[in-house]
């Protein structure tokens, strides 16, 4: 689920990831869904550009004083997503849909009011998401990175994702630590049902990711990042 927020479908085709991962910062967690992300690593916005269509979409993020995500806006007209934090719960609202996450003692979402359940390993990485319709997502973690994911639909169809990582630390933080720890390193390749897509990066003067690029045949998908400070 976390990778769904982070990387590829936000690129408009490729992975099931949206927010990163793809970005995951390890957090001690607490009953208010807090995190220990450094504000200087929090992404203020990113722009997705598709070379084939010429389309660009901007994602903008707002955080509270504890570096937790409180709002996400998308320039394509999608409803704004907001987050509110209370003891033992995080409430996500997008348009008319409200999702209430119930947190475990480590501050991670254990379940939500949609009937989904989430489990984690001892280091806070999400290992399993189960949906009430029988669909599931299972992650395998190695060296503090999610190296493979298998998604199974309610009808039994599976999609397999595999990830390799480079040695660079993952600087991409989005303040959603209540959904588990972030990958320690940046993705080098992503495989989807056996087809591999390479990732390349440029970095700013602080060593943070400035641009992220994926090439898929004739199409280049480029993501450009700016940070809170």
Torsion angle (degrees, nearest 10) of CA 152, 153, 156, 162: -30
Angle made by CA atoms 179, 182, 183, in degrees to the nearest 5: 145
β strands within the chain, DSSP E: 43-50, 56-63, 69-74, 81-86, 89-94, 97-103, 109-112, 117-120, 126-130, 136-142, 145-152, 158-169, 185-192, 195-203, 209-216, 219-227
Q: Report d(CA 128, CA 31) in Å as an integer.
A: 21
Model confidence pTM above 0.75: yes
Burial (Cβ within 10 Å: 0-12, 13-18, ≥19) of residue 187: buried
Determine the pLDDT at residue 40.
Answer: 64
Pick from 17, 39, 28: nearest CA to 175? 39
Pick from 48, 117, 123, 40: nearest CA to 78? 48
Q: Report d(CA 201, CA 213) in Å as an integer.
A: 6
Determine the pLDDT at residue 194.
Answer: 86
Asked if residues 85 and 68 have their Cβ atoms less than 8 Å apart, the reply is: yes
Determine the pLDDT at residue 162.
Answer: 97
Asked if residues 91 and 98 have their Cβ atoms less than 8 Å apart, the reply is: yes
Q: Report d(CA 179, CA 120) in Å as an integer.
A: 9
Going along the chain from its start, the domains and CATH numbers come out as 2-227 (2.40.160.190)
Give the mean pLDDT per block of 10 residues along the chain (229 residues): 40 37 34 46 94 95 95 96 98 97 98 98 97 97 97 97 95 94 96 92 95 92 95
């Amino acid at each position: 689920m976390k990778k769904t927020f982070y990387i590829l479908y936000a690129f408009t085709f490729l992975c099931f990831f949206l927010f990163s991962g793809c970005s995951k910062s390890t957090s001690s967690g607490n009953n208010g869904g807090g995190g220990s992300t450094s504000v200087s690593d929090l992404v203020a916005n990113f722009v997705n550009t598709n070379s084939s269509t010429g389309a660009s979409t901007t994602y903008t993020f707002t955080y509270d004083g504890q570096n937790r995500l409180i709002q996400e806006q998308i320039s394509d007209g999608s409803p704004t997503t907001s987050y509110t934090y209370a003891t033992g719960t995080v409430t996500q609202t997008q348009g008319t849909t409200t999702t209430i996450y119930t947190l475990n003692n480590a501050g991670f979402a254990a379940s939500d009011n949609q009937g989904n359940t989430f489990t984690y390993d001892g280091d806070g990485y999400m290992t399993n998401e189960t949906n009430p319709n029988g669909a599931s997502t299972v992650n395998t973690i190695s060296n503090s990175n999610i190296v493979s994911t298998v998604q199974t639909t309610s009808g039994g169809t599976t999609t397999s994702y595999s990830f390799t990582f480079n040695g660079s630390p993952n600087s991409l933080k989005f303040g959603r630590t209540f959904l588990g720890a972030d990958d320690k390193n940046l993705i080098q390749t992503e495989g989807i049902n056996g087809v591999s897509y390479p990732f390349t990066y440029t970095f700013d003067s602080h060593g943070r990711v400035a641009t992220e690029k994926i090439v898929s045949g004739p199409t280049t998908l480029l993501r450009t990042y700016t940070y809170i400070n």
